[in-house]
Structure 1
Amino acid sequence: MTHAVKFPLVYQLNTRVWLHELSRKVHRTLTLEGVPDSEFQKWRDLHIDALWLMGVWQESNKGRLVAQTHPGLQHAYKHALPDFTDDDVVSSPYSIADYHVSDSLGGNAALQRFRQRLWDAGIKLILDFVPNHVALDHAWLQTHPEFFIAATDGAYHASPESFYEHSNQRFACGRDPYFPAWTDTLQLNYANPALHDAMIATLKTIATLCDGVRCDMSMLVLPEVFNRTWAHLGVVMTSDFWGKAIEQVKHSFPAFLFIAEAYWDTEWTLQQRGFDFIYDKRLYDRIAMRDVAGVKAHLAGGDLAFQQKLMRFTENHDEERAREKFGDNHKAAALLSLCALGARLIHEGQLEGWRVKLPVQLIRRPEEPTDADTARFYHKLIRVLQNSAVTCGDFRLLHNEGDQRIIAFERASGGKTGHIFLCCNLTESTAESFFFTDAFESVESYEHLDIVSTEQFRSPQIEIWQSGVTVRLRPHEGIVCVLR
């Protein structure tokens, strides 16, 4: 990622599944050290700034047993991979036994050589950090049981499945307060200051292996959230973790990136703690609901600094595939999300139009055909995402006096080519409107525009005036105009 890129494009890869498939292609077991050059060329061609390798850390044997026997997971496995067997089931990548690269992937040394090859291609490396919990067989359960939350008799008898028994003691499993406990994990006790120090030391070790971390469920270790979840067990977190941790890591590794998975309107709070980018689930949800007014309000809301630190996406491993979630709007949703202000996240298989959401406990996925229309669309969109207007430009939501169903904005970074105009119609009917903008004042003909449309076989309906532009959009249609 060059210094000129203010808003990086990150590509998420399911490491274990991807390497498993590569190994089958070459008929031998590959580690990170043996990845063929063609993979790096593919990422170069996508012009990504960072690669997020999901699931590189040491697997949990106890976590795998839970994954293979948990009744609630069997249906998800069957739905995604009808012919799955126990051999296809591994531990969740978020049930981490040790922050050492899995031996099956080649260990730390293989990762370091892989990272160097990424650097040679101009790409940074992002890895997972899970602050809230660790695997049931993490070494700390033997050496530092005080790092975990002990059960009270009342809490245990009320919900025994939410606790793990070890050496005549019962410890809380990790959890999101709105869902059942993750029974393959142990909840970390942030009421203990010594745990803060241990987790910061872990982060500093991780920072020697990569260029940034995607922090799983980051809001769970904010004091207000932690205490709301765990105070009933007699533990109270009295000091902030994130601000201290990020400050100390960045002191030693100034360019290290912190990306937060976060929900429940905690984005601003986490930005103030020092995170570089935060998931923007609110935009995702409003686009999915076709809430045009809500999308506009969100894109215009907050100050510039807040918007710049959001990470936009239409897919990741936790969500449904975009073609399933957004239906006819999946391409318009991608235009809106990936061209908006902030960092951008693309998920493996998204560019091919895959439809199956794979449970993270599976190491094999079904073969899916590439959807030609989706692939052609993203091939064109990727070129737009390289434009300086997107990678480092400003943002202006465009308002109009006519049809309010169209969402439109422009981005510019200065110069003749660093300017784009975007408009989308998320509704079921045709919409037409005029937008005042000076984006086209120097455009003498349509030959000076590169237009990317969600419509493959129908021409965009756009009319340029000296003071602005009139657009007529079909249902679910989106257009990006790149000035050149």
Structure 2
Amino acid sequence: MRRISILLLGLLVFASCKNEPEQKETAEVQDEISIEPVNNDVLESAVIYEANIRQYSPEGTFAAFTKDIPQLKELGVKVIWLMPVYPISEVRRKATGDKSIEDIEDAEERKKYLGSYYAIGDYTKVNPEFGTKEDFDDLVQTAHDNGIYVILDWVANHTGWDHAWLKEHPEFYTQNDKGEPVDPLNPETGESWGWTDVADLNYDNKELWEAMTAEMKYWVDEHDIDGFRADVAGEVPTEFWEQAVPKLEATKPLFMLAESEEKELFHKAFQMGYNWEGHHLKNQIAQGKATVEAWDDYMKKIDTTYQQDDYLMNFVTNHDENSWSGTVKERMGSAAETMVALSYTIPGMPLIYSGQEYDLDHRLKFFEKDSIPRTKGVMWPLLEKLGKLKNSNPALHGGKEAASYKRLETTANEKVLAFERSKNGARVVYIANMTNEPVTFDLKLDGNLPVYHGKTDFKIQEDGKYQFNPWEYVILSDN
């Protein structure tokens, strides 16, 4: 590891330099702070990458993923979100959507079912299938050396059924009339969500707050991680997150991502949430079930719902969507590239999910070993080019000081989406035919922005008349 190399170098110098102790100490301190603390200047232009360690490589290990971290820089990635890395509970482990391993009679058959990452057996250990804590530390250090932050997926709403708290602190769990822990229930109906492999935690117990915060702080203090992605964040009391974050940030600033759009979560605890509604709209438009007018209404809603410094994560896929709702091709078809480009150009932070960069076109198994493709095809160069623009042009800043978003009117507003982003004199324009039929329209464009990507023969016309093929788009940029 790099730390060891620096130490050995220092020992060699010691033999010939009497002031070596001071030099060695300086070298080690510099190595420990190989990346500046999380800050908004970096996050404004960041791309986030969701790493599915189990499925990322044939090995399914930290080490195999770590080797590829330098490549992620080519895609503009500045944050890696690791799906849960903790041991998975054996008891009631999921085998399929509706069966646990206890339902599988054949012993050999049971071995292939690895369970859900979100059924955690111990918050302070790593899944031995992925490697060791030393391997994990090497992953974090490699990311930091490449200017990339690492955040952990944190599951505060529930644990697996063999977590030690079930025996040591049964009072931490939601219980039925018989005093038995239960799996998470729908608060509106009182019925099970079907997450039978996990036990629901009860945040009425304030001792749980202290215990859970301590488990999170362990990873910040001992393993130098840079924040958390909070699973089903809205199912945990907002007050818990608000009390936890200041304690965690006593060590260093963190980046907090909520799997939620609830605006209350952004006030004190989280910087970014999920753009679920925008994502579903992309699917609906791609499938001809909604028009651009619905998108315009959504952007107006965002403007009035959230505070100016709140922002959302934009995506066309993630682990849930890929495994349960379908691949990008299944959901978006010919509109896929247009929607990817849209996710990079609207306010917020774009997400890449493991395999998306390699044109992943199958639903990854959720409870079994699977693997993503490894051949660079259409998507890698597209994401590389979009990532470069996101990283370099202030007009695509999407954090707490996001660039402005201005809708550009056309004569076909229900079919054509056109908008301008701008900040500090920089400009980016996105224009797209959001239908599966050719469209002719008028659009007034100021200036003479060059084509950055998309419709290569696009030229700004004096008469403002344009024709786009189905799902054709163009990105204009002064950078």
Q: Give the TM-score range, shorter chain.
A: 0.7 to 0.9
- Asked if 2 retains the 8 angstrom alpha-carbon contact of 1:11 and 1:348, the reply is yes
Question: Counterpart in 2 of 1:294?
Answer: 294
Question: Counterpart in 1 of 2:237?
Answer: 222
- TM-score normalised according to structure 1 size: 0.78
- Asked if 1 retains the 8 angstrom alpha-carbon contact of 2:88 and 2:118, the reply is no
- Asked if 2 retains the 8 angstrom alpha-carbon contact of 1:307 and 1:341, the reply is no
Number of matched pairs: 413
Question: Counterpart in 2 of 1:212?
Answer: 227
1:55 matches 2:120: no
Question: Counterpart in 2 of 1:186?
Answer: 199
2: distance between equivalents of 1:70 and 1:44? 36
Match of 1:422 among 426, 430, 434: 430
2: distance between equivalents of 1:22 and 1:427? 41
1:13-52 equivalence runs, <5 A:
13-19=51-57, 21-22=58-59, 31-32=61-62, 34-35=63-64, 38-52=67-81
Q: Which runs of 5+ in 1 are unaligned?
A: 24-30, 75-83, 154-168, 224-239
2: distance between equivalents of 1:73 and 1:350? 29
Q: 1:139 Cα deviation (Å)? A: 0.6
- Quickly say closer, same or farther: Cα 1:423–1:36, change in 2 above 3 A: closer
2: distance between equivalents of 1:242 and 1:274? 6
Letter in 2 for 1:312: N
Which of 311-320 and 268-277 deviates more? Answer: 268-277
Match of 1:353 among 354, 359, 374: 359
Question: Counterpart in 2 of 1:12?
Answer: 50
Q: 1:401 Cα deviation (Å)? A: 5.1
Q: 1:15 Cα deviation (Å)? A: 0.8
RMSD of aligned residue pairs (Cα, Å)? 2.8
Question: Counterpart in 2 of 1:248?
Answer: 247
Q: 1:330 Cα deviation (Å)? A: 0.9
- Quickly say closer, same or farther: Cα 1:125–1:37, change in 2 above 3 A: closer
- Asked if 2 retains the 8 angstrom alpha-carbon contact of 1:9 and 1:344, the reply is yes
Question: Counterpart in 2 of 1:121?
Answer: 146
Letter in 1 for 2:419: F
- Asked if 1 retains the 8 angstrom alpha-carbon contact of 2:66 and 2:139, the reply is no
- Quickly say closer, same or farther: Cα 1:211–1:205, change in 2 above 3 A: same
- Quickly say closer, same or farther: Cα 1:70–1:338, change in 2 above 3 A: closer
1:366-398 per-position Cα deviation (integer Å, ceiling 9, x unaligned): x65858344443343333332322245512232
1:74-93 equivalence runs, <5 A:
86-93=110-117
Question: SS at 1:197's partner residue?
Answer: helix
- Asked if 2 retains the 8 angstrom alpha-carbon contact of 1:308 and 1:341, the reply is no
Question: SS at 2:50's partner residue?
Answer: strand
Question: SS at 2:295's partner residue?
Answer: helix
- TM-score normalised according to structure 2 size: 0.78
Which of 129-138 and 418-427 deviates more? Answer: 418-427
Letter in 2 for 1:12: E
Q: 1:144 Cα deviation (Å)? A: 0.6
- Asked if 2 retains the 8 angstrom alpha-carbon contact of 1:462 and 1:472, the reply is no
Match of 1:378 among 380, 383, 391: 383
1:67 matches 2:67: no
Question: SS at 1:333's partner residue?
Answer: helix
- Asked if 1 retains the 8 angstrom alpha-carbon contact of 2:232 and 2:259, the reply is yes
Letter in 2 for 1:101: V
Question: SS at 2:351's partner residue?
Answer: strand
Which of 340-349 and 174-183 deviates more? Answer: 174-183
Question: Counterpart in 2 of 1:394?
Answer: 403
Question: Counterpart in 1 of 2:257?
Answer: 259
- Quickly say closer, same or farther: Cα 1:85–1:123, change in 2 above 3 A: farther
1:90-109 equivalence runs, <5 A:
90-99=114-123, 100-109=125-134
Letter in 2 for 1:317: H
2: distance between equivalents of 1:289 and 1:172? 36
Question: SS at 2:267's partner residue?
Answer: helix
1:211-247 per-position Cα deviation (integer Å, ceiling 9, x unaligned): 1111111111137xxxxxxxxxxxxxxxx22222223
- Quickly say closer, same or farther: Cα 1:15–1:38, change in 2 above 3 A: closer
1:134-283 equivalence runs, <5 A:
134-152=159-177, 170-177=180-187, 180-208=193-221, 209=223, 210-222=225-237, 240-253=239-252, 255-262=253-260, 266-283=261-278
Q: 1:37 Cα deviation (Å)? A: 6.9
- Quickly say closer, same or farther: Cα 1:338–1:349, change in 2 above 3 A: same
Letter in 1 for 2:94: A
- Quickly say closer, same or farther: Cα 1:274–1:460, change in 2 above 3 A: farther
